[in-house]
Chains A and B, each alone.
Chain A
């Protein structure tokens, strides 16, 4: 089946620390991969995406590279800020079928 596994949280970091949130996937086809972010009290919004192997998605200092050989799409940021505190979701979609598959989310808290 299709599924996404991401590291469990919560994650607490000091401001300017390096962030990695691991995400691995299982897919029956060739997926597109996404990272979504959810700020407190809000809906999810797209952070970045990649549609083919070796693509790197980037936005707001966050990056993730589509690694087909390791079926991974790890999220990284070199220097986190307090405003990055949120829940991060890894997700995939396939060109066969109509559904998106989400990980369980990783809560990040950045302290000053």
Chain B
């Protein structure tokens, strides 16, 4: 039981490049979330999904897209990376919206 895993752990991009962050969970959770963590700002919700094939915007969705084609996977895409997207990205999943969230180990992204 691996819990929540994230790929890659670290990435450096040049401005304008694209990439996809992968989140996978093996707990059969319906809800999945993508957050970014920046110094002094805590966690900010980018997008979330309440089930396979569904996605919704969070607090800071601009510049990101997501897909949930399979229940266990939640992908976060950056189409044209900007330095403002330099951050640590966390994925989380939960069975229902009132229960404990389980977090992945994070992806550090540096955009030059």
Q: Which residues of A contact B (CB under 8 A)?
A: 32, 34, 36, 42-46, 49, 51, 89, 93-95, 97-100, 102-105
Determine how close the nearest CB of chain B comes to the CB of A40; give it in whole angstroms. 11
A103 to B40, CA, bound (A): 10
Q: Using Cβ atoms and an 8 Å threshold, which residues of chain B touch A51?
A: 98
Q: Using Cβ atoms and an 8 Å threshold, which residues of chain B touch A89?
A: 42-43
Q: Which residues of B contact A (CB under 8 A)?
A: 4, 31, 33, 35, 40-43, 45, 48, 50, 56, 58, 90, 92, 97-106
A95 to B97, CA, bound (A): 7
Total contacts A-B at CB 8 Å: 56
Asked whether A102 lies within 8 Å of B43 as measured between CB atoms, the reply is yes
A104 to B45, CA, bound (A): 13
| Contact partner, B103, options A44, A94, A104, Cβ 8 Å | A44
Asked whether A97 lies within 8 Å of B42 as measured between CB atoms, the reply is no
Asked whether B90 lies within 8 Å of A43 as measured between CB atoms, the reply is yes
| Contact partner, A103, options B31, B42, B45, B90, Cβ 8 Å | B42
A32 to B50, CA, bound (A): 18
Q: Using Cβ atoms and an 8 Å threshold, which residues of chain A touch B48?
A: 98-99
Known: A99-B48, A103-B42. A93 touches B103 (CB 8 A): no
Asked whether A99 lies within 8 Å of B90 as measured between CB atoms, the reply is no
Q: Using Cβ atoms and an 8 Å threshold, which residues of chain A touch B33?
A: 100
A-B contact pairs, 28 of them (CB 8 A): A34-B100, A36-B101, A42-B105, A42-B106, A43-B90, A43-B105, A44-B90, A44-B92, A44-B101, A44-B103, A46-B100, A46-B102, A51-B98, A94-B98, A95-B97, A95-B98, A98-B31, A98-B56, A98-B97, A99-B45, A99-B97, A100-B33, A100-B97, A102-B35, A102-B42, A103-B42, A104-B40, A105-B43
